[in-house]
Structure 1
Amino acid sequence: MTVGTARWMPLVALGAAQFLVVLDTSVMNVSISQLVADFATDVTTIQRVITVYTMIMAAFLLTGGAIGDAMGRRRIFATGLVIYGIGSLLTALAPTVGVLTLGWSIIEGLGGALVLPALAALVGGNYAAGRERALAYGVVGALAGAGIAVGPLLGGWVTTYLSWRLVFAGEVVLVALILVGLRWVDDAPLEGPRPRLDLVGAALSALGIALVVLGVLQSTTWGWLRPRDPSLSLLGFAPTLFVVAAGLVVLTLLRTWVRHREAVGRDPLIRWSLTAVPPLRAALWCLLAQNLVLLGLFFSIPLYLQVVLGLDAFQTGLRLLPISATMLITALAAPRLAGVLAPRQAVRLGFGILFVAILWLLASVEPQLDDVGFAGATALLGIGMGLLAAQLGNIAQSSVGEDDRGAAGGLQYTAQNLGSSLGTAFVGSVLIAALGAAVTRGISDDPRVSADLAGQTGVAISGGLDFVPLAQAEAALTASGVPPDQAVAVVESYAEAQLQALRAGMLAAAAVALASLLATAALPAVTPPREPRNVTTPA
C-alpha cells in the first residue's frame, strides 16, 4: 500500500460510519408502506418511529460529545458502534412496533449519539487544516447525503424483493468491518486534562430537545391550538405549544446552568461561548435547515410515490436515485471550486438551488408521474444538497480550536438531527393538517355528498386523518355503509386532497430553504488559505 493511499484509510472507516448512521432513516422512509403492512399499523405511527430515532440522537449528541472528550474520542466512537450494532440486530428481529422502536429508535439512536461527535473530532484530528481537511469533511458530508439518498434504492430493492430486515442485518456486518478498520484511525486527544461529565447539563439538554421535538411531532395528534381530543385540553388549548414552550424553558435553564459551571471553574456540558462564534453559529443554523428540508422531503416524496401512485419500494428508490448521484458528485467537486466560490457563496447558492428544485418538484406532484420533470427536480435537489454538504461540516469544525472539536461536533450533529427530527415532524404536521382541511373543503363543496355525511366526515377528520391508499379509503367507506355514489365523491375529494397536502408540505420545505439565506451572513466570505499537505504522517 502506498503512503498516499494509506493517508486516506482513516477516511474509509470514518466515512463508512457516517454513511451507516444516516442510512437508516432513508431506508425507513422508503419502506413506510411495507412497515405499515408488516406491523398492522398506520403511517402516523411509523412517522413517530422515524422521528424518535433522530430525536434520540439530537437529544443526546451534546452528551455524546462530552463523553468522548472525557473518555477518549476513539474509544467512545468504537463503543457507540457496538451499541449501534446491537440495536441493528434487534431491529432486524423486531416482532412488534414496540421492539422496532426500542431497537432502532432508542438503542441505535443512542449509539449514533456517541459515534457522530467523536467522528467529527476524529476527522479533524487525522487530517491537517486547510484543503486536506476540507476535502475530508466534504467526503464525509457527501457520504452522509449518499446514505440518505442511496438508502431508498438499496432499501427499496431489499424491501420489495427480500425483506427490509436484511438491511439491518447487513448493518451488523458493516459495524464489524468498521471496527476492524479503526486500526488506521488515530485518536484525537485533548491538549489539556480531560473534563468531567456534567450530568445536570446532560439531563437538561436531553429533556429540552426531546420536549421541543415531541411537541412538534404530536401536533398531528393533539392539534396546534384547538385540541383534537377534548380530554387532552389544557386551558382550552391543545398541549402542543405548552410542550414546546416547556422544552424551550428547559433549554434556557441549560444555558443558565452551563454559564454557572463556567463561572465557578467547573467543566460544563459545553462551553456556551462556542455559540457566540459567528461562523459556527451560522453553520449550525444552516445544518439544521438543510436537514429539516431534506428529511421533510424524504418523508413527503415516498408518500407521493407509494401511497398516491402505488409504486413499490424499489421503484421509489429508482425515482430518488438522481438525488444520490448529483449530491455525491457535487459534494466531491465542490472543494475543488474553492478558488471560485467562497464558503458563504457556495452555501447561498446551495439554498437557492434547493428552493428552485423544490418548486419544480412541487409542480411535478400530479395524479400521473412526469418522470422527466421529477428526475430533473430531484437531480437539481441533489446539487443543492451537495453544495451544502461540502461546506457546512468543515466550516463548523474550522471555526474552533483542537480542544473544542468534540463539543463542536456535538453541536454540529445536534443541529443536523434536530433538523431531521423537526423535518419529519414539521412537514408531516403541515401535510396532515392540509390533508384534513382539503378533504373537509372538498366534501362540503360537493353536491353529491349529503349534509349528514359531510358533517359526520368533518367530525371524524377533526379527530385525526391518516394518509392511506385510495383503495383502503374506499373500502373503509363501504364498510361504514356509505352509499356508493357518495363514497365515490368522498374518495375523489380525498384523492385531490392528498395532492394538495403534499404540495403544502413541500411548500413549507421551500419556505425554510428560502428563509435559511438569512443565516448565511456570518459564514466565511473568503476561502481560507491552503496549508501544506502532509502525506507522510497523520495530524
Structure 2
Amino acid sequence: MTHWRALIVLGTAQFLMVLDTSVMNVSISQLVEDFDTEVTAIQAVITLYALVMAAFMIVGGRFGDILGRKRMFLLGLAVYATGSALTAVAPELWVLALGWSVIEGLGAAMVLPAMAALVAENYRERDRAVAYGVIGGLAGAGIAVGPLLGGWVTTYLTWRLVFAGEVVVVVAVLFCHRVIEEAPRAGRRPRLDGVGAALSAAGLGLGVLGVLQSGTWGWVQPRNPPFTVLGFAPTLFVVAAGVAVLAVLAHWERRRDAQGADPLVHLALLRRPVLRAGLLSLLSQNLILLGLFFTIPLYLQVVQGFDAFETGLRLLPVSVTMLVASTVGSRLGRVAGPRRLVRVALAALAGAVVWLLATIDPVIDDAQFAGAMALLGVGMGLLASQLGNVVQSGVAEEERSEAGGLQFTAQNLGSALGTALIGSLLIGALAHAFTTQVENDPRLSEEARRQTGIALEAGITFVPTEQVRSAAERAGLPAAEVDAVTDSYASAQLDGLKAAILAAGGITLVSFLVTPPLPSRSQPSGVGAPAEPRPTP
C-alpha cells in the first residue's frame, strides 16, 4: 500500500477538478435562481472555467519544467483552494466567475500537467499503466460523486458547501506532499516564452468566445449581436481571428525553436501520429461528455422539473458505469489494445446517443433513460482508461510536463467547446423550432405572432414553460393563445435538446477518423518515445 500513497495524493487532485464541473452542471437551475440570472450566463461561467484551463494548461506545463513539477503541483493546489474559498462565499455572479472560472481554472492549469508528469515519474512499466487507469477511475469517481453529492447538498443545504469542503481536502493533500517523489533535474531549466503564452491564450479565447456567443449572435444572420461585420453576425469573424492568432503562434514557435530559444511548446511533438491521435481523442471525449452533461441536466431540471438531487440520482448510472469501466479498462487495454478499445468506446457512445434521442419525451421513461446513461458511462470510462497512458507513452521522460500540458489543453479545450458549441446549437435549434411552431400554429393570431417575434428578436433562452406562460399572460394574450404559445415553446424545447444530442452523436462518429494511428497493442509504459533532437543555444 505504501507504494501507492503518491497515487492517492495525486489522484485526489484529479478527483477535485472533475467534481467541480459535475457539481456545477446539476446545480444550473439553483445557480440561475441564486444569482437572478439566465441559463446562458451560467453556461458562460462553466465555459470560462474550461477555457481558462485550456488557455493556460500549456503554460502550466512549461512552468512545471521551470520551477519543478512537485513545486508547481503544490503551488497550483494553493491557488485552487483560494478560488474554492472565494466561490463558496460569492455574493454576485461576477465573483463566482472570478473565484471558480478564473482562479480555480488557473490553479487547475498549474496542477494537472504536473500531476500527469509526476504519475509517470513515480511509477514505471506496468505500474504506470495501472496508475493512469486509476487516474481515469478517479475522474469517473468525480463524475459519479459530483451529481449525487452536488445534487443533495444543493437541494437540502447549499452548493457553497461543496467548495468549502474542497478547501479542507486541498489542505489535507498539502500536508501529505512528502509521499510524492521527484528526481533532481539535470541540465539547465528552460525559460518561459511570454509571447507564445499570450498568443496561445488569445487564440484559444477568441475561438471559444465566438462559439459560445453563436447562440446569441447567430452564426451568419445576425440575431442579437453587439455589432455586425459587413451586415453579418460577428461569430465566424471572431472564430477566424482566433484561428489566425493560433497560426501566428505556430509561426512564432517554429521560429524560436529554429533559433535555439525555448518555445512554449515544441510543435514537433504534434507530428507524432500516436500522440496527435491521443490528443484529438481526448478533445472529442470531453467535447461529447461536457456537451451532454450541459444538455441533459437542462432536460431533467427545466423540462421535467426535477431538483438538483433528483437530477443527480438520474445521472448516477453514467457515473457508476464510468467508474467501473475506467477501472477495468486498463486491464482490457493490455489484452485488446488501445485502438480497439477506443473504437468500442466510441461505438458505445454512439449507441447511447441513439438511445437518448429515443427517450427525450415530455414524460421521462426512467428505465430507458437509466439504460442510455449506463451505456454512456461505459463508453466514457473505456476512453478515460486508455488515452492518458497513450499520450504519456508517446513521449520521452524529459517531455512529460510538456505532454501533460498538451493532454489537459486538449481535454479542457474539448470541455469548453462542448459546453459552448452544444449549448449554442441547443439555443439555436430552440429559437428556430419555436419560430416555426409559432408561424404554423393556426390557434395564434397575427398580433400574437408579432409579439412573439418581437420577444424572439430580443433573444431566447432555455426556461421552464411556466415562465413563457407568464410572459404571454403579461403581454395580454387571450387564454387560448397563451396555451398555444406555451405548447409551441414546450415542443421547441424537445426539438432543441434532440438537436444538441444529435450533434454530440455526429462528433462521436467523426471521432472514429482519428483512431487509426492509435497503437494496436498496449505500449510499454516505462519507456517513452525517444526525444527528437532540438537546437541547442
TM-score (norm 2): 0.96
Structure 1, residues 381-414: CA drift from partner, whole Å, max 9, x if none? 1100011000000000000000111000000000
Aligned residue runs from structure 1 range 32-431, under 5 A: 32-129=28-125, 131-187=126-182, 190-229=185-224, 232-431=227-426
- Report how far residue 530 of structure 1 moved: 7.7
Question: 2: CA distance between counterparts of 1:263 and 1:526?
Answer: 35
For the residue of structure 2 that corresponds to 1:242, the secondary structure is helix
CA contact (8 A) 2:393 2:523 kept: no
CA contact (8 A) 1:196 1:267 kept: yes
Deviates more, 1:456-465 or 1:99-108: 456-465
CA contact (8 A) 1:190 1:403 kept: no
Q: Does the alignment pair 1:11 with 2:7?
A: yes
- Cα distance change on mapping 1:280 and 1:167 into 2, 3 Å: same
Question: 1: CA distance between counterparts of 2:321 and 2:457?
Answer: 42
For the residue of structure 2 that corresponds to 1:338, the secondary structure is helix
Question: 2: CA distance between counterparts of 1:420 and 1:530?
Answer: 27
The percentage of aligned residue pairs carrying the same residue is 59
Question: 2: CA distance between counterparts of 1:381 and 1:338?
Answer: 19
Aligned counterpart, 1:535: none
- Report how far residue 362 of structure 1 moved: 1.5
For the residue of structure 2 that corresponds to 1:232, the secondary structure is coil
Aligned counterpart, 1:444: 439
Structure 1, residues 205-236: CA drift from partner, whole Å, max 9, x if none? 11111111111001111111111136511111
- Report how far residue 274 of structure 1 moved: 0.4
For the residue of structure 1 that corresponds to 2:264, the secondary structure is coil
Aligned partner (choices 470, 489, 493) of residue 488 of structure 2: 493
Structure 1, residues 284-343: CA drift from partner, whole Å, max 9, x if none? 000000000000000001000000000000000000011111111111111222343111
Runs (4+) off by over 6 Å: none
Q: Does the alignment pair 1:517 with 2:532?
A: no
Question: 2: CA distance between counterparts of 1:187 and 1:362?
Answer: 48
Question: 2: CA distance between counterparts of 1:51 and 1:148?
Answer: 17
- Report how far residue 145 of structure 1 moved: 2.7
Question: 2: CA distance between counterparts of 1:441 and 1:143?
Answer: 45
- Report how far residue 452 of structure 1 moved: 2.3
CA contact (8 A) 1:73 1:189 kept: no
- Cα distance change on mapping 1:461 and 1:188 into 2, 3 Å: farther
- Report how far residue 23 of structure 1 moved: 1.2
- Report how far residue 480 of structure 1 moved: 1.7
- Report how far residue 191 of structure 1 moved: 4.2
Aligned counterpart, 2:532: none
Q: Does the alignment pair 1:27 with 2:23?
A: yes
Question: 2: CA distance between counterparts of 1:357 and 1:350?
Answer: 11
- Cα distance change on mapping 1:529 and 1:406 into 2, 3 Å: closer
For the residue of structure 1 that corresponds to 2:37, the secondary structure is coil
For the residue of structure 2 that corresponds to 1:426, the secondary structure is helix
- Report how far residue 189 of structure 1 moved: 5.2
For the residue of structure 2 that corresponds to 1:397, the secondary structure is helix
Question: 2: CA distance between counterparts of 1:68 and 1:522?
Answer: 29
Question: 1: CA distance between counterparts of 2:226 and 2:17?
Answer: 39
RMSD: 1.3
Deviates more, 1:302-311 or 1:519-528: 519-528
Question: 2: CA distance between counterparts of 1:218 and 1:188?
Answer: 45
Aligned counterpart, 1:476: 471
Structure 1, residues 152-191: CA drift from partner, whole Å, max 9, x if none? 1110000000000000000100111111222111125544
For the residue of structure 2 that corresponds to 1:262, the secondary structure is helix
Question: 2: CA distance between counterparts of 1:464 and 1:46?
Answer: 16
Question: 1: CA distance between counterparts of 2:461 and 2:182?
Answer: 48
Give the gaps of 5 or more residues in structure 1.
Answer: 533-539
- Cα distance change on mapping 1:167 and 1:233 into 2, 3 Å: same
- Cα distance change on mapping 1:149 and 1:509 into 2, 3 Å: farther
CA contact (8 A) 2:19 2:146 kept: yes
For the residue of structure 2 that corresponds to 1:320, the secondary structure is helix
Question: 2: CA distance between counterparts of 1:143 and 1:454?
Answer: 51
User: Which amino acid letter does the alignment assign opposite residue 442 of structure 2?
Assistant: P
Aligned length: 527
- Cα distance change on mapping 1:529 and 1:101 into 2, 3 Å: closer
For the residue of structure 1 that corresponds to 2:189, the secondary structure is coil
Question: 2: CA distance between counterparts of 1:405 and 1:115?
Answer: 14
CA contact (8 A) 2:422 2:503 kept: yes
Question: 1: CA distance between counterparts of 2:399 and 2:262?
Answer: 13
Question: 1: CA distance between counterparts of 2:476 and 2:187?
Answer: 73
CA contact (8 A) 1:64 1:117 kept: yes
- Cα distance change on mapping 1:531 and 1:96 into 2, 3 Å: closer
- Cα distance change on mapping 1:338 and 1:18 into 2, 3 Å: same
Question: 1: CA distance between counterparts of 2:525 and 2:232?
Answer: 56
Question: 1: CA distance between counterparts of 2:105 and 2:393?
Answer: 26
